[in-house]
Amino acid sequence: MALNPAITDWRGRRAWIVGASSGIGAALARALIERGARVAVSARSADGLAALGAALALPLDVRDAAALQRAASHLHEAFGGLDLAVYCAGTYRPLRAADFDLDCVLEHDEVNYRGALRWLAAVLPLLQRQRGAHLSLVASVAGWRGLPQALAYGPTKAALINLAETLYVDLRDLGVAVSVVNPGFVDTPLTARNRFAMPALLRPEQAAEAILQGWRRGRFDIHFPRRFTLWLRLLRCLPYRASFAVTRRFTGL
């Protein structure tokens, strides 16, 4: 069942993707440009943004609220409005409790979650002026349940999922659609840090197509690949005793 208006034609639509210098964000920017959208991209890596060519590059660090505000103002001047805003910025380092690293955990919080809050402060006024706009947060299936090695990463993605749910309720009557993207494993510079087999691993281009398909279908919760994520959905529904046992059995941790 569609919870959002379907987006089937990208020609002339104005999009801002934060976290677009590599991985899913860069692939999504390229896919939107190919479909005729006007795309602005942000990340810390100016070189990574420059590689996207036709996109409007707005380099910034999501830990800098003032930089996000300046970028939003620049974008409004350049595009005259905004139809799609995507938060794809993130950091990831595998971490378990036996090796707890406070600086690592707080860095995840600053980038993955608080960065999204700073971005919202900059982008929400633009979206609310543009009825029919769409806001999307890229979280992760790691936010569905506590998983091994996700001590720093998983809680921030769980927070983004809850944030998206709340935003959907608050913004629906204001004419702003909201979606949350929960990918499984995607081959990016971040997942390259994993030292374990990643089932159903996708290329960033496949992830971008899955996101576009989710928006075409008006989905709120866009998760993929479904041959993997549907099993995690089941795990999420199990009682804790069962889900902990299944997680331990299949991860060996």
How many domains does one find in the chain?
Answer: 1
246 belongs to a structural domain = no
Which two tokens mark 231? 């099993």
83 belongs to a structural domain = yes
User: Whole-prediction pTM value?
Assistant: 0.94
Other CB atoms within 10 Å distance of the CB of residue 148:
16
153 noted as active-site residue = yes
**Residue 20 to residue 33: CA distance in whole angstroms:** 13
244 belongs to a structural domain = no
Strands 221-224 and 176-183: parallel
Of 53, 48, 11, 49, give the one whose Cα is nearest residue 32: 11
pLDDT in tens, 93-104: 999 999 999 999
Predicted pLDDT of residue 236: 84
99 belongs to a structural domain = yes
Give the CATH number of the domain where residue 193 resides.
3.40.50.720
Please give the residue range of the domain that contains residue 199: 14-227
198 belongs to a structural domain = yes
- Separation in Å, CA 230 to CA 2, 18, 141: 18, 28, 10
Strands 14-18 and 84-87: parallel
Which two tokens mark 239? 């009682």
193 belongs to a structural domain = yes
**Residue 128 to residue 100: CA distance in whole angstroms:** 41
Percent of the chain scored above 70 by pLDDT?
A: 99
What rounded mean pLDDT belongs to the chain? 94
249 belongs to a structural domain = no
Predicted pLDDT of residue 246: 85
CA angle 106, 110, 111 (to 5 degrees): 120
91 belongs to a structural domain = yes
* Block residue for tokens 């799609």: 84
Of 72, 98, 70, give the one whose Cα is nearest residue 16: 72
pLDDT tens-digit profile, the chain (253 residues): 799 999 999 999 999 999 999 999 999 999 999 999 999 999 999 999 999 988 999 999 999 999 999 999 999 999 999 999 999 999 999 999 999 999 999 999 999 999 999 999 999 999 998 889 999 999 999 999 998 889 999 999 999 999 999 999 999 999 999 999 999 988 888 887 877 777 788 999 999 999 999 999 999 999 999 988 988 888 888 999 998 898 888 776 6
* Catalytic choice (87, 92, 113, 153): 153
